[in-house]
Every structure is written in structure tokens, then in C-alpha cells.
Amino acid sequence: MKLVTFDDGTGPRVGVLDSGGAVVDVSGRPGVGDTMLEVVEAGESGLDAIRAALSSSPARPEQAVRLLAPITPRNNVMAVGRNYHEHAKEFSASGFDASEKKMIPDHPIIFTKAQSSIVGPGHTIDTSMDPSGTSDYEGELGVIIGTGGHRIAAADAFAHVFGYTVINDVTARALQAQHVQFFIGKSAATFCPMGPCIVTADEIDDIAAARLRTTVNGEPRQDACISDLIFDIATLIEAISAAVLLQPGDVIATGTPSGVGIGFDPPVYLTGGDVVEVSIDGVGTLRNPVV
Ligand code: MG
């Protein structure tokens, strides 16, 4: 199923994006809950409740509602730096990675984005939030944790995946470089567009086979296969949960492939009037205008 959070004027509601492009409102139906976090926490029984409610719930055209970020996690969005080989090269060559010791890391580089940076599909990315004027896009696959856990083995990791979404890990490059730690450069308000939906894990046979593509104003910028990840999804979950207690609804942005704005010489930053689209096969297209 493709699950969405939407606003019809009465506040955030949970819905299902059907194959005809309609949003079916299942919020508050028996066993479903009112937020995506409640749906994720309910696990398989929550998904069964949604399936049971589908045929008797009201549907609206997607255009008649406003899609929001599909989930607001309890914690910051966890994210991975330098996790595609070609991007590791371009990032290294750009000189913007103040943390760099090795071009290809021995262990995943994990940072977080403030929860307050999350916005939904269609929402504007506001570059005025970045005082350095160096805002850049990073198209990424987002993994939504279902059942939480501590010390999850890679072999068991996919049993903890609720589903997938699309994330744009928008970054203020100069802040990323000057503060050494990535948090400030990654956390400006509106710098974490997410959506349009969460595709439940059962819908995707092999996420590694999916392609990710990013365009700016229709111009192709990023095009890579998820299988090109240096540290794959199972390895990331094992590495993070070795220390961190993962909770239902936690979001992991798995890293971006080559083709970001700082890969150009000179760098090309986002400016007002741009439109960024990130697409992942089987998951969807996240489209955000820039102001
Ligand atoms: Mg990133």
C-alpha cells in the first residue's frame, strides 16, 4: 500500500493513495489510529485494519487534498554521509567535507537532521533559511523503521523495515563545511522534504534494484541504482542499532548518489524559481519548488 498523511482542512489525516490517484481517508477507522506514527506502531494489525477499512472509506481526488510529509518521527531524521562511491569522489573533490579522513569510509557516517526541517511534497524549500546562500539538493531513499530494536543483526534488518519513502536531504554546503559536524547545515527549516507517500515493505520485492533520479527544472542531475550504496540498508540498520535504540517510525535517509550541485565546477546552488524532483522506482516522485 501507498500510505499518505494529508490535510483536507480539518488537520492531518491518514490515507491510502489508490491506483486511480485518489486518497482514501482511513483516519480514525477501527484499529487504524489518527497519525502515521500510530499506524506504524500498530504494525501488521494496523495494516490489516487499513485494508479492512478501504472499501468503506471516503475517497477524494489527490488534487483536492494537500499531502503532508507522510510521517513525523519522534526523533531527528537519521542520515548517512558519503554512501555512494561516485558521490564520495565528487564530495571529496569539492572540498566541502570538513570531516573527511578517508574518501571511502570504513564505517557508515551517521548524522541527523532536525525534525523541524521536515516538510511534505509540494512544500517550498526556503533558501532564505540558509544564511550562507549555498543550498544544495540530495535525492535519497528513506527507510521507515517498523518494529524498533537494539542490536539488530543485518540478517534480521528487513523484518524491522515498515516501508520506504523519498527524501531530499537539502544541505547548506558552507555551513556543512564550516561547522565540521553536519547538523546545522542539514537542519534549516524546510530542508527535509519527504514523500509523497510511504510504500509498505511488502510492495517492494527488491529495493536495491530500484533507480533513483533527481532533476532540477527538468534537467537530469542524479541517476543511480540503490544497489550502488556503499553500506546497504541491512548494514545501516545493524550499525545504527548497535548503539541507538531504534523506535517505530524512525526515518533513515540512506545517502545520495553523485550529481549534486557541488559536483559542478563552479558549484551550482538552488535558487528561487527552481523545482527539484526526486523519483524512486516503485516509491514515487517528490517534487518541491524552491524560493
Ligand atoms: Mg545526504
Give tens-digit pLDDT for 154-182.
Answer: 999 999 999 999 999 999 999 999 998 99
Using the mean position of ligand 1's atoms as its centre, give its distance from the Cα of residue 186 in Å: 8
> What pLDDT sits at residue 166?
98
Query: Is the entire prediction scored with pTM above 0.95?
Result: yes
Give tens-digit pLDDT for 218-251.
Answer: 999 999 999 999 999 999 999 999 999 999 999 9
Per-residue pLDDT for 285 more than 80?
A: yes
Give tens-digit pLDDT for 114-146.
Answer: 999 999 999 999 999 999 999 999 999 999 999
Distance, C-alpha 150 to centroid of its chain: 22
Using the mean position of ligand 1's atoms as its centre, give its distance from the Cα of residue 240 in Å: 16
Distances (CA, A) of 286 to 9, 143, 192, 230, 279: 22, 15, 11, 24, 6
Using the mean position of ligand 1's atoms as its centre, give its distance from the Cα of residue 148 in Å: 23
Question: Which ranges constitute the DSSP H helices of the chain?
Answer: 36-54, 85-94, 173-178, 183-186, 233-241
Using the mean position of ligand 1's atoms as its centre, give its distance from the Cα of residue 225 in Å: 15
Using the mean position of ligand 1's atoms as its centre, give its distance from the Cα of residue 26 in Å: 33
Average pLDDT, the chain: 95
